[in-house]
Structure 1
């Protein structure tokens, strides 16, 4: 394949060095014509065959049934997108190929220009569009490519602004356009294109102008660029380098994108990528499953499809980890077509990423993976994708996805494999300080940070008001599937995100971004196989003296919210009970059974509140009467206010209801306690107010603990050594003790991730060990049992044991 190593061959001849192919084959995403099917599924030895694979990913391939209404609608979308993208395209201009993309200081203007060319080229290549095979459009596209190479992109041009655009964004779009226009390019233009891309992106291991080691999603993006360019140049050596770069062969595996960062045997890398608990970090310490993580999965699925069945197929055994990425790193963070915003980084501030767009990328990636994981995993992925697509009634996946994914999705939906069903689980990600709680009628996410994890990301003038994104923000997902879409992030009050404890007021744009906390305590414990979890964080706020201990005890359909030690030297401190964008602007708010005014602008002090209910959201029970503040408002903002790079200047207005507890000015040792009952009816909330299902056991600076009255379950977060009823700990720990019949199950963890062991004393006599995780030991005491769990190196993971009364 490489002309320099295979005498007598040319760029377009048989790939040099092709040996016996492996067992893996590339299964097409869509049914295609027989000849194309053979090329897509059999042994591919020619560059033309690999180009066909990539072309099929972009267009759906030949043989599409244009009389099928879904296919016809997708083709029409492609045509409309091309019409929009082609507006203003003028290769005779001197300032820019498009009149709105003329900057020589903003690199995204260059990327966007190439993306528009690729969008138009797609329509030109797809049968059934108004643009298909139009010779005039072909010539316009070729002239557009020439203009970009002459005026903006290539060895003769100096890069500016963001390296990502030059080495990844531009190169990906230009590579796609080149595959689509391949037969019309001619040798000289093709050489010029591939040389331009290689000028910026020559090595699948390195990127940026100073040639840093590429990590995480950036490495997979770079590999994708090099792979497509290698196919266009018939360079088998570069395809081998791409395969090896995914495993970081040159770096002894230190930055392998396939290995888990915490279980790999290679050299120590940057820590970016996936962890065995499903966490994904990028830019060192930012949780990013819904941003860079999804892009890694997306592009890796495309690369695996391209290389399958060839001598360059990926054979690294760590490829099997992809199964766990899907199960642990994406499934728990998806809620009926949405991705929890706490793991989407700065992408939440992009108008183009709202409305379940990020989840679409995940679904498309898993669709591509299914053929490569046959058997049980393939069936599980099929079941999972079927569930993801059918449960999202807010955004019809089949009406927005690309052609290849559309055909694959319809095959999945028609398969006999049943949908998985709604996720019912409690999942914690201790490597990125996040928790997700899924019940049949709602899901809830908690966002924390610590000495190990950054609070939020705001670079490139994006995500400017995310100051409190990890200060205990609670994301509640109900049947209002569009709640975090339709302009939520620019219009929500960023100083009052739900669940947070804050010093009132707004900070400067991007203040404190990429900051870790001085506190180590963030995390919790979960009881395996249940929806029972204890979670918490020690909050030490950026930019103020505010400190607090915050807990969320997720006990099936009730979440007990506990705060203590809330102190600050100055400023008014608030804890936000709820801040809801209302589906119905006049949604009823009941305060102890009495309807509050539903008019915009309503504001009131609510004294001695015992329970609240918000129609369409759920209930809130205050076992100890509390004074709250309530506010209804129509909030108007622009996306530009939170994103100078990609925001728009059009004002948007959305209705909100905010409820918060005012702890006063410079509080010292304040606290709170309420029960959140998501999706509960008003009547159930009233009943629970009369007889709260959960009671507070401890709310000190040493321990938070609650007990569920129905079964006696005890949940505790120990900030230091302390006692909560029958349970004592020798130091920081998170613990669940669940009696059930003649057994008691105990789950525990070290949320500081610093302790070598946790020692608990459980004052219950007559208990013997039934089973215990490795490293957990039990010894009798005069009052009960002492449990010692080795926690060194567990990084906050839960350990569990079961005891039984003799």
Structure 2
């Protein structure tokens, strides 16, 4: 019986992840044993590194030793004679994670059994023990006849992935009857690569790829070609007409909107930014599936598979700063100790390493250079010390090649579909996290991320040479009411209060001048759970970030804007305010009534154009991961030193504001000079418009909250605009951050200029003594468009 080929969304392109594996391949609904072994061997290689490993090579030996230690730890307490659970700490019949964790421990031990060089390799007694462990789980917890409880993810994905892996690793010793019971159990919970949950919902985004992975590996174990065809088609959602294809961009809104967008954004759980969580899991698991199916009758030939390359360059590369993933796109994973900082980037690197063999030409060179840069620039967490054996071997080959690393990323990127921005300069990167009517503020489900209240209230993340800043217990110990960049009511909400909430404000986004690191970004803040409102802007002008706020108002409660909240490498890092050194004792605090400049050694400077009342605090903060994550947290107290700076707007402020220049990495001397000769001046800071001008070249940047005028520029309504003069030309960039306007009209006091270049939908005409620019913004979803004006030559 021949498998059916794709009849919808078919393409002719080759898979990105083609592997040089021998033929023949599976081509029948029930393949013969030799061909089944072929695909099973691919998955076995992904899990173990394959045959021919040089276990005397130091890095490989260290990786084998890690697998050994993990197995020894996982095996402690394993006892199939128990009646309440395989392990004494995993006995719950109401917490589904106990079932998943049991299967994961079995898979961990099975991996050591299958990897040459471990103390468990090929041990017959251990194989027998593992078989009994699988039997216990199938008899007491998992499969037909057992009621699921708690979280569907555990039953259909978490348990199934681990059990499938165990079956592949132990295939030769499990026996036919046990293998049948395993695949029947998996198929009971996860029978269809398109659907999941007890009520059989359409699977989307990362969940669809997880489900497809479960069905695919189970099909390999059974030799079922029809199910492999269903997996291939499910990736493109053939049965749904492509509405929930994981390969297609979600821009057209045909499905739920969960997945990647062409601007690099990734949303999961409807409206949560999640590149560093579900997005990286989607990429990681998809790269495994592409490897498994490459070159077979089930090769993924949908032309949209080429979008995977764009995910890497637009959805991950700009969000990674020297190995650390921008925390604003990691969702509730920021509250997991096992997912701190650089862990998310590891998954991305491993995925791209799997994609590399199928790339050719300039694309292959570019991706190889990117991966080499990622691995070598992260000196905080050595990729070679933490990755799996297969990725380790691939990484070592790449590092030994003549490929040159890409070099430091220098760019300014905005993600209008998820209200985030990333600003990369040679010495630092800065992330901005906002939200709007289109995007949720934060996720806290299943008792995770309980204190994420302000993660999108204008949080600013500074990534500098302190590569471990957002690792080493940052998220449980930082004051969650004082995240840098935010404006907040200084009152503690209930755990998880307001999670999964959109704002009532549309204005979030900005504009970027193409080919530069010049961007204007902003948000209208309407805080959850209070009457607090504010207009907030960040003008990212190369090495200077201008923070401007206006209209800071609340009917009740004390309101603060947080200038900085830094976990200190050196608890006594020198702090100077207006050139005077502050005490370095823990517990020190002070109020400065008219501060003009602040410098924090190892971090940089902050310049206030006008004397500003500023409060400062040094403290040692102690917490546990359980405080922010009941599900996965531990009760071990951790303590970290912090320096916090904030502006106190008072109780129930009306129309308050703020302004400062942030100079990341600046010396004390440069900070002091910036007070005397500010590199950027504020032109407007009203509730209608924020605008700034750079002294060196006259660059003008403005965020219009409503119709208004600032300096030489007027706008007929909400808009973000940058204008720069270069020789005889003016460059103009504009966007609609509300994503609601059909057209923006700008009036620029610029006589005698004509259009040299313009993006589609952008026009300019003379109007009186100036130039009127009209921009069609319908359907742009907040994207920046630009034009260049040239000075009109005059005859003498």
Length-normalised TM-score, structure 1: 0.95
Q: What's the counterpart of residue 178 of structure 1?
A: 167
State whether residues 464 and 665 of structure 2, in contact with CA within 8 Å, keep that contact through their aligned partners in structure 1: yes
Find 1:196's aligned residue among 185, 195, 198: 185
Matching of residues 567-606 of structure 1 within 5 Å: 567-606=553-592
Deviations 1:745-771 (A, max 9, x none): 000000000000110000111111110
Q: CA deviation at 1:733?
A: 0.1
2:133 equivalent in structure 1: 144
Say whether residues 1:524 and 2:513 are aligned partners. no
Once the two structures are superposed, the pairs formed by residues 738-753 of structure 1 within 5 Å of their partners are 738-753=724-739
**1:647 and 2:626 matched:** no
The answer to whether the 8 A contact 1:503-1:571 is kept is yes
Do 1:22 and 1:311's aligned partners in 2 also have CA atoms closer than 8 Å? no
Matched, 1:383 2:369: yes
Q: 1:668 aligns with which of 627, 631, 654?
A: 654
1:48 to 34, 37, 42: 37
Match runs of 1:330-341 below 5 Å = 330-341=316-327
**2:299, 2:18 → 1: CA distance?**
16
Match of 1:246 in 2: 235
Alpha-carbon offset, residue 524 of structure 1: 0.1
Match of 1:64 in 2: 53
Identify the match of residue 153 of structure 1 among 142, 149, 160: 142
Distance 1:583 1:225 in 2: 43
Secondary structure, counterpart of 2:619 in structure 1: strand
Q: Residue 657 of structure 1 aligns with which residue?
A: 643
**Does the 8 A contact of 1:25 with 1:42 survive in 2?**
no
Matches within 5 A, 1:58-457: 58-263=47-252, 268-457=254-443
CA deviation string 1:460-489 (max 9, x = no partner): 000000000000000000100000001000
8 A contact 1:263–1:276 mirrored in 2: no
Q: CA deviation at 1:410?
A: 1.0
3-state DSSP class of the match of 1:250?
helix
1:17 deviation in Å? 10
Instruction: Identify the match of residue 540 of structure 2 among 537, 554, 570.
Output: 554
CA separation in 2, counterparts of 1:23 and 1:718?
45
Contact 1:75 / 1:126 at 8 angstroms: preserved in 2? yes
Measured in 2, the distance between the counterparts of 1:263 and 1:310 equals: 31
In the alignment, is the contact (CA less than 8 A) between 2:12 and 2:303 conserved in 1?
no
Work out whether residues 539 and 701 of structure 2, in 8 Å CA contact, stay in contact via their aligned partners in 1: yes
Q: Does 1:708 align with 2:697?
A: no
Is 1:782 the equivalent of 2:761? no
Rounded Cα–Cα distance in structure 2 between residues aligned with 1:345 and 1:25: 30
CA contact (8 A) 2:4 2:229 kept: no
* Aligned structure 1 segments of 4 or more residues deviating by more than 3 angstroms: 15-18, 21-29, 41-45
Q: Say which SS state the counterpart of residue 551 (structure 2) adopts.
A: strand
Instruction: Name stretches of at least 5 consecutive residues in structure 1 with no aligned partner.
Output: 7-14, 30-36
Are 1:560 and 1:674, in contact at CA under 8 Å, matched by a contact in 2?
yes
Q: CA deviation at 1:505?
A: 1.6
Which whole-Å deviations, capped at 9, do the CAs of 1:372-422 have from their partners, x for residues lacking one? 222222211111000000000000000110000000111111222211001
Among 474, 482, 488, the residue aligned to 2:468: 482
Which residue is 1:464 aligned to?
450
Q: Secondary structure at the match of 1:412?
A: helix
- Is the CA contact (8 Å cut-off) linking 1:25 and 1:43 kept in structure 2? no
Contact 2:450 2:496 survives alignment (8 Å): yes
Q: Which residue of 1 aligns with 2:32?
A: none
Taking the aligned partners of 1:513 and 1:247, their CA distance within structure 2 comes to 31
Q: CA deviation at 1:26?
A: 9.0
Post-superposition offset of 1:24: 4.5
CA contact (8 A) 1:706 1:715 kept: yes
User: Which of 695, 707, 715 is the equivalent residue of 1:721?
Assistant: 707
Query: How big is the shift at 1:741?
Result: 1.1
Contact 1:26 1:42 in 2 (8 A): no
CA distance in 2, matches of 1:360, 1:55: 21
**Structure 2 Cα separation of the partners of residues 26 and 739 of structure 1:** 43
Tell me the distance in 1 between the aligned counterparts of 2:79 and 2:774.
72
Count of equivalent residues: 781
Q: Select the residue among 637, 643, 656 that pairs with 2:623.
A: 637
> For residues 176 and 694 of structure 1, do their structure 2 counterparts lie closer, same or farther at Cα, with a shift above 3 Å needed?
same
Q: Aligned equivalents of 1:399 and 1:788: distance in 2? A: 55
- 2:31 maps to none
Are the counterparts in 1 of residues 26 and 297 from structure 2 also a CA contact under 8 Å? no
DSSP 3-state at the match of 1:760: strand
SS at match of 1:470: coil
Q: Is the 8 A contact 1:600 1:634 kept in 2?
A: yes
Is the Cα contact below 8 Å between 2:14 and 2:301 reproduced in 1?
no
2:239 aligns to what SS in structure 1? coil
String of CA shifts for 1:87-114, please: whole Å, max 9, x gaps: 1111000010011111001000000000
Secondary structure at 2:536's aligned position in 1? Answer: strand
1:795 paired to 2:795: no
Q: Which residue of 2 aligns with 1:682?
A: 668
Q: CA deviation at 1:44?
A: 6.2
Question: For 2:502, what is the secondary structure of its paired residue?
Answer: coil
Alpha carbons of 1:588 and 1:44: their partners in 2 closer, same or farther (altered >3 Å)? Answer: farther
Q: Distance in 2 between matches of 1:412 and 1:535?
A: 38
Instruction: Return the alpha-carbon distance in structure 2 between the equivalents of residues 573 and 27 of structure 1.
Output: 52
Asked whether the equivalents of residues 26 and 306 of structure 1 are also in contact (C-alpha less than 8 Å), the reply is no
Deviations 1:215-259 (A, max 9, x none): 000000000000000000111000000000000000001000000
Q: Which residue of 1 aligns with 2:30?
A: none
Aligned-CA RMSD value: 1.5
For 2:320 and 2:448, locate their aligned partners in 1 and report how far apart those are by CA, in whole Å. Answer: 23
SS of the residue corresponding to residue 269 of structure 1 reads coil
Scaled by the length of structure 2, what TM-score is found? 0.97
1:539 is matched with 525
